[in-house]
């Protein structure tokens, strides 16, 4: 068996707002939209899905309280990307820092509260 990709899915209570956050604020690309309840966001060669839900994703408080993440997006220049996102009005919940595991990372929350890490291998 050959796996050709892994596609995570995030739940949103407002699909339009979440699409706008990922495309306008983070600069990612809308890959597709299916009716009023489903969409795909392209991040480089990767894809993740958004699904409309009636209730907040129950993993959001758990993830925030446990210092976990919903998505980890790898980049070649974490500091440069952080400055670019700040200029677009994105608030970093953790500013750029070097980690003990030899990465440079920062964190943002999306419009629904999902924790998004951006990381650069050092």
Strands 71-74 vs 115-121: parallel, antiparallel or unpaired: parallel
Q: How far apart are CA 101 and CA 119, in angstroms?
A: 11
Cα Rg of the chain (Å, integer): 14
Predicted confidence (pLDDT) per residue in 81-101, tens digit: 999 999 999 999 999 999 999
Predicted confidence (pLDDT) per residue in 1-18, tens digit: 999 999 999 999 999 999
pTM over the 0.85 mark: yes
CA torsion sign, 100 to 103 to 108 to 110?
negative
Domains and CATH numbers, the chain: 9-53+60-121 (3.10.180.10)
């Amino acid at each position: 068996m050959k796996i050709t990709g892994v596609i995570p899915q995030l739940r949103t209570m407002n699909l339009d707002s979440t699409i706008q956050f990922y495309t306008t604020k983070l600069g990612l690309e809308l890959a597709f939209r299916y009716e009023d309840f489903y969409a795909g966001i392209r991040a480089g060669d990767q894809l993740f899905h958004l699904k409309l839900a009636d209730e907040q994703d129950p993993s959001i408080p758990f993830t925030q309280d446990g210092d976990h993440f919903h998505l980890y997006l790898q980049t070649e220049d974490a500091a440069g990307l952080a400055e670019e996102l700040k200029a677009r009005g994105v608030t970093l919940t953790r500013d750029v820092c070097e980690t003990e595991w030899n990465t440079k990372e920062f964190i943002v929350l999306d419009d629904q509260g999902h924790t998004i890490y951006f990381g650069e291998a050092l």
